[in-house]
Amino acid sequence: MYKTLEIERLGQTASLWLNRPDKLNPLSLETLEELTHAANEFNRDNTIKVITVGGRGRCFSAGADLAGFPAPGDVGAREAADAGRRMADAMEQINAVTIARIQGWCIGGGLVLAAACDLRIAAQDARFSIPEIDLGIPLAWGGIPRLVREIGPALTKELVMTCRPFDALEALGAGFLNKTVDIKELDEAVDRMAESISSRPAFPIQATKRHVDAVTANQVGLPRSWSDADSLLAGLSDPECQEARERYVQARSKS
């Protein structure tokens, strides 16, 4: 049913895997649409209490696959530019509790996907990066309000503006992660948290999730992210941003 995802169900829990490990699980337009569809499908199954979200292979996700997106001005360009926001909103609106299982790199759009999950557990050697400005584009997909919600405005500004990588220890200290564990213990830690939640009554769990989401939604204004697609298209068409993107790609190809 899915070309870029793998879904496993076991009792009251399910696992959703980004499944292009050879490409480091990029978030192509196809993957974004499949994630949105999967989120909606999960909401039709009232038996699922917890969903773990992970990436196959050596990293969680290398982020957005810009090469597959239409150029500004092409038919459907704005619809494509808005696909990431729709994905993140759909993931956040899943009725079940979602737990991001993070190993290796979690970059850009991959970090937005993780931020859209309710809880996050990472391997101690996981690394995070938000390189969008180096690519000449703003952080879109509702990434800014989600980061402000999780780590606060000042650190959000710093990490997004400087594009500096940060490690799991800093992410834990900032409040982005719930827990870090040795990579060998990652699956066990995620399963343990999933079992702890799924063993409890569904109604108060879901009520708690929705209550917290409602409080933070009023604080950060996620609905304003509708305009992120327009900012993304502006960055893709701006000459200075195009030059920055070319420099970034060239530097990455040499590293």
Residue range 230-253: mean pLDDT, rounded: 90
pLDDT at position 137 is: 94
The mean predicted confidence, pLDDT, of the chain is 95
Whether residue 224 has pLDDT greater than 90: no
pLDDT at position 251 is: 87
- For residue 241, give both structure tokens: 């941003």
Residue range 21-28: mean pLDDT, rounded: 96
CA distance 101 to 122: 6
Least confident of 35-44, 69-78, 111-120: 69-78
Whether residue 1 has pLDDT greater than 90: no
Whether residue 70 has pLDDT greater than 80: no
pLDDT band, residue 223 (cuts 50/70/90): confident
More confident residue, 221 or 91: 91
CA distance 109 to 142: 10
* CATH 3.40.50.300 assigned to 5-185: no
Residue range 230-252: mean pLDDT, rounded: 91
pLDDT band, residue 219 (cuts 50/70/90): confident
Domain ranges of the chain: 5-185
pLDDT at position 252 is: 80
Residue range 143-150: mean pLDDT, rounded: 97
Whether residue 17 has pLDDT greater than 80: yes
**Residue 115 and residue 137 in contact, taking contact as beta carbons nearer than 8 Å:** no
pLDDT at position 96 is: 98
Whether residue 5 has pLDDT greater than 90: yes
Whether residue 69 has pLDDT greater than 80: no
Q: Backbone phi, then psi, for 54, in 5-degree steps?
A: -145, 180
Whether residue 66 has pLDDT greater than 80: no
Least confident of 34-43, 147-156, 174-183, 246-255: 246-255
Residue range 154-173: mean pLDDT, rounded: 98
Residue range 155-165: mean pLDDT, rounded: 98
pLDDT at position 67 is: 75
Biggest alpha carbon–alpha carbon distance for the chain: 54
Whether residue 210 has pLDDT greater than 80: yes
pLDDT band, residue 167 (cuts 50/70/90): very high
Q: In 10 A of CB 213, how many CB atoms?
A: 15
Residue range 145-154: mean pLDDT, rounded: 97
